[in-house]
C-alpha cells in the first residue's frame, strides 16, 4: 500500500486519468474530490464488495437453471410477422 501525506488542495494523479484532491479535513474525516473519465466507475469499497458478493451468489443460482428445459424454437427470430 502506498501512503502519502497531502494538504488541502493537494492532489495525486493515477494512471494519467484519475485525479484525487484533498478538499477538506475535519477531525478524523477527510473529504476527497475525484476527477475521472466518464467511462470510469468509482464506488465506495463497501458498495463494490456488496456487488461482488451478490454476483457470486447469482452465479451460484445458475446451477438451478441447468435443470430447466427451454425450447428456443418457440421464440422465433424476433422479427415482426405480418397479420394473415
Q: Where are the domains of the chain?
A: 11-65
- Residue whose entry in the numeric block shows the C-alpha cell 470510469: 40
**Per-residue burial over 49-69, b = 16 or more CB atoms within 10 Å of its CB, e = otherwise:** eeeeeeeeeeeeeeeeeeeee
User: pLDDT tens, 9-61?
Assistant: 999 999 999 999 999 999 999 999 999 999 999 999 999 999 999 998 888 76
The per-residue pLDDT for 52 is: 92
Integer Rg of the chain from CA: 24
CB < 8 Å & 24+ apart, contacts of 60-65 = none
pTM of the model: 0.61
pLDDT: is 57 or 68 the higher one?
57
User: pLDDT tens, 35-47?
Assistant: 999 999 999 999 9
Amino acid at each position: 500500500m502506498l501512503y502519502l501525506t497531502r494538504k488541502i488542495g493537494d492532489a495525486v494523479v493515477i494512471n494519467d486519468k484519475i485525479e484525487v484532491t484533498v478538499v477538506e479535513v475535519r477531525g478524523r474525516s477527510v473529504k476527497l474530490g475525484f476527477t475521472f473519465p466518464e467511462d470510469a466507475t468509482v464506488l465506495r469499497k463497501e458498495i463494490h464488495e456488496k456487488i461482488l458478493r451478490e454476483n457470486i451468489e447469482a452465479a451460484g443460482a445458475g446451477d438451478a437453471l441447468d435443470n430447466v428445459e427451454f425450447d428456443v424454437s418457440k421464440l422465433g427470430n424476433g422479427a415482426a410477422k405480418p397479420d394473415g
